[in-house]
Amino acid sequence: MDVRAGAGVCCGASVDCERCVVRPIAVCGALGREHMAEIATIAAERRLAAGQAVFDEGEIADSVFTLTSGMLKLYKTTRDGRRQITGFLLPGDFLGISFDRNYVYSAEAIVGSTVCRFGRRPFTALLERHPQLEHSLLGRALTELAAAQEQLLLLGRKSARERVASFLLGLCRRLGVIEGGRVQLLMSRGDIADFIGTRVETVSRVLGALSRGGVISMPSSHDVVIASWRRLQQEAGP
Amino acid sequence: MDVRAGAGVCCGASVDCERCVVRPIAVCGALGREHMAEIATIAAERRLAAGQAVFDEGEIADSVFTLTSGMLKLYKTTRDGRRQITGFLLPGDFLGISFDRNYVYSAEAIVGSTVCRFGRRPFTALLERHPQLEHSLLGRALTELAAAQEQLLLLGRKSARERVASFLLGLCRRLGVIEGGRVQLLMSRGDIADFIGTRVETVSRVLGALSRGGVISMPSSHDVVIASWRRLQQEAGP
DNA sequence: CGCTCAATTGAGCACTTTCAACGCAAGTGG
DNA sequence: CCACTTGCGTTGAAAGTGCTCAATTGAGCG
């Protein structure tokens, strides 16, 4: 499959998409700027405080969103309180796209965030008018699928130490952090644990061990400096 | 998102798609029969023996496939031999669709199978001519994504007993097996283990325990009869 | 300053893995 | 036709990793 013009491209969190009241940057990236006016008519900005839900698993899926600033977590919960975070979203990412009637996961802001809401019907209509947008969405879905499969490998076959290292590595890659750079862990230890399938205590211990081993350093509990990219890769396992 | 005509529909393994040399039943289901002739011109059937690979992770992704009979496993492998099976494919499922240059997982037949091969370029061209096929593929990708997220929950948060029960339950659902019915486990214990993130010994022990507990019965090591659907659901956890 | 919530640290334990042996069925070659 | 091999599944005992529970420290805030 070829990546057609615009597919998978995203303006990036820091780019202002013209003088749009809403900033549906992901859609902007996929469709190109010529359709900004059209997009603006069906989109509405929504501000979210840290901890605020976008939607919950099981709700009627009547909206589609793109994250325009901040960070979200997507997760599934069981009746008895177990939780699995399936991903952390960065600006430009979509959420809530589904052919089902209901959302199959919950979404919640980790820090103050803004999303851009599209009604499901107008969004569907937009897709029908612009097949290249649907092509772009397919590309995104396939990328997410590949990421999920990578995470399956992590959860199914990696040790706690490898999981934490892999998590850090993945976060750095997405954020463009390089050796010597700093990653801000906006999420809590509990969130990390629920993402990599461990307990908070284990996350804490492994981070401590990596820090003591000189692989990383932690100026504060939510700031990680990558001391050695190579060693972190080794820790992340094969 | 609405499911448009034909999206996500599959003829089913037992349905013969007219007098087609190849039986690209999944594409048939998605596109409708009126395009069978067009599809047949770009597709080629390939027979696979049990254990034979369709493609390997890392290879140039120059083909797209649909499974027309048998069963495949998709998996990722690490350098040190660890393996994670990301899914088992049934007739009608696609594989190898990617916007990347290379395959990101390996695919191998579990039993004698037949696939239908499409060259990447002709397939891409087909998608361009038929936006509704791309829409259908998006639906499939989203379904697979939801399944992967369910599996993340299993791998990250469930006990060995719950994993095995969930696996059986999921397989029965896909195959349409009901209480009292029989599931054939075409895959080996090793495959099951690599799918649910345990060891073969654990799979064996849990299956034994479920059998002794009267939740299931095993006429042979590859045949499971669901004695109590309700209890199996309980075992599968919340 | 005292409160609260998050993160860390410690000790004991449970579940799954690891390692090893055995049974069984199918395939092979004399 | 039978001895032998090979692969897979099962079972047992020991070991280890990560979990549970509990206490302590630290950071943010009224």
* pLDDT (tens digit per residue) in B177-224: 999 999 999 999 999 999 999 999 999 999 999 999 999 999 999 999
Does residue A200 reach within 7 angstroms of strand C, measured from its CB?
yes
Q: How confident is the model at residue B21 (pLDDT cuts 50, 70, 90)?
A: very low
The backbone region for B66, taken as left when phi is positive above 0, alpha when psi lies in -120 to 50, beta otherwise, is beta
**Closest residue to A80, CB basis, from B64, B151, B238:** B238
The backbone region for B58, taken as left when phi is positive above 0, alpha when psi lies in -120 to 50, beta otherwise, is left
Asked if A102 and A38 touch (Cβ cutoff 8 Å), the reply is no
* Nearest DNA or RNA nucleotide to A188 (CA to C1'): C6
Is B83 in CB contact (< 8 Å) with chain A? yes
Quote the CA–CA distance of A97 and A105 in Å, as a whole number.
11
Quote the CA–CA distance of A155 and A8 in Å, as a whole number.
27
**Mean pLDDT on A77-84:** 96
Interface A–B counts its CB contacts (< 8 A) at 142
* pLDDT (tens digit per residue) in A99-147: 999 999 999 999 999 999 999 999 999 999 999 999 999 999 999 999 9
Q: Residue B220 has what pLDDT?
A: 95
| B126 min Cα distance to partner chain A (Å) | 11
Q: Residue B25 has what pLDDT?
A: 63
Is B126 in CB contact (< 8 Å) with chain A? no
Asked if B86 and B76 touch (Cβ cutoff 8 Å), the reply is yes
Lowest mean pLDDT among A12-21, A107-116, A150-159, B90-99: A12-21
Considering only CB atoms, which chain B residues are within 8 Å of A124? 1-2
Considering only CB atoms, which chain A residues are within 8 Å of B98? 1, 142, 146
pLDDT at A10 over 60: no
Model's pTM, two decimal places? 0.90
Longest CA–CA separation in chain A, Å: 56
DSSP class of residue A62 equals -
Exposed/middle/buried for B184, CB within 10 Å: 0-12, 13-18, 19+?
middle
